[in-house]
Amino acid sequence: MVKKESDIQQIVNHYFYSKGLSLEEIKKDAKKQKIIYSRFTKPAKQLLELAGSVAKAKQAISKVAEWAKSRELDYAIETVFKKWLELDKLKPKEIVKKPFYFGDPMVWSQAKQRWYVIDKAGQWLEFAGKEAEIEWKIIK
């Protein structure tokens, strides 16, 4: 017979899922005492009381997880409490891609409506290539 997870277990497990762990990994790590599961039950219970339902608690954890991961921050269930009042405003960090041409950065001139390549010496050279040759890189 399969035991149904309690509300608290669902919240704690969702927190670990958001960290990238599977149920098997959680159980294995708990047995090896890498995870002290009971340490997470009290904050999970408090989050359940604050959120009012398991679904809202999970939603809040997911939102904080997405926000924190995009900024390469660590987070805990308690982070959800700290961010509770601003949950609606929490957005993942925008991924900014910058244009490059053969490794040199590029700039768009709004005034002249054209691209410029900045060479190693810092000179702005008018881009004469094709748009397809522009490489877009994620810059952190």
Tokens representing 13? 């497990």
Instruction: Please report the pLDDT score of residue 11 as a whole number.
Output: 92
94 versus 3: which is more confidently predicted? Answer: 94
The pTM for the full model equals: 0.67
Average pLDDT, the chain: 88
140 versus 46: which is more confidently predicted? Answer: 46
